[in-house]
Copies of this chain bind each other. A is one copy, B any other.
């Protein structure tokens, strides 16, 4: 039970009820713009504060690091469709193609591209952030795929003994690799070919 506020490093917990909504929005907007304009690495806390016309302390009061700010930006970007289940028309191949094509479109926009890259880069040396990303974005993302595949198993379109965890990796891993290493462009055709190939491995 922490009661001595100044004993634990002088870090008094701020009162969220008094938080300025205006400042929060301005900070997230500024960060969002800057990450697209200059990228994560060249974006500085100082620049965020300046563009948001906000004191630096106001940022540090509510977020522990630059990554944390951008995590919030990212969450807002992808937030709405986070837990959304995948479409289920009855044909798993069609549905997966629909989803992957949409993902191609998403990762082709500069905002998403740069922000996602920034994260993938950042979690390589920020374990804390990696855990958060894993829990808030990766796991839920994987789960909706697994859910759709389970439904496909029930429909007899996927082998019952298939390792679904691995199956999801087979769908998303190549996609991510191609995007990260820029080995080849992400296209709708690619999304379809990928699903076709993976379905070969999953069909009963």
Contacts and interface: CB of A to CB of B under 8 A. Distances in A.
Interface of A: 2, 4, 6-8, 39-42, 47, 50-51, 117-118, 120-125, 130, 133-134, 138-139, 142, 162-163, 165-167, 169-170, 172-178, 180-184, 193-194, 197-198, 200-202
A163 to B, nearest CB: 6
B182 A130 contact: yes
Given A121-B121, A124-B120, A200 B201 contact: yes
A181 B123 contact: yes
Given A125-B41, A201-B201, A8 B138 contact: no
Nearest to A184: B165
Contacts of A8: 47, 50
B198 A170 contact: yes
B50 A181 contact: no
Nearest to A142: B183
Contacts of A169: 173-174, 177-178, 183
A188 to B, nearest CB: 15
A138 B176 contact: no
Contacts of A4: 50-51
Nearest to A169: B174
Contacts of A194: 166
Nearest to A159: B200
A169 B120 CA distance: 19
Contacts of A40: 125
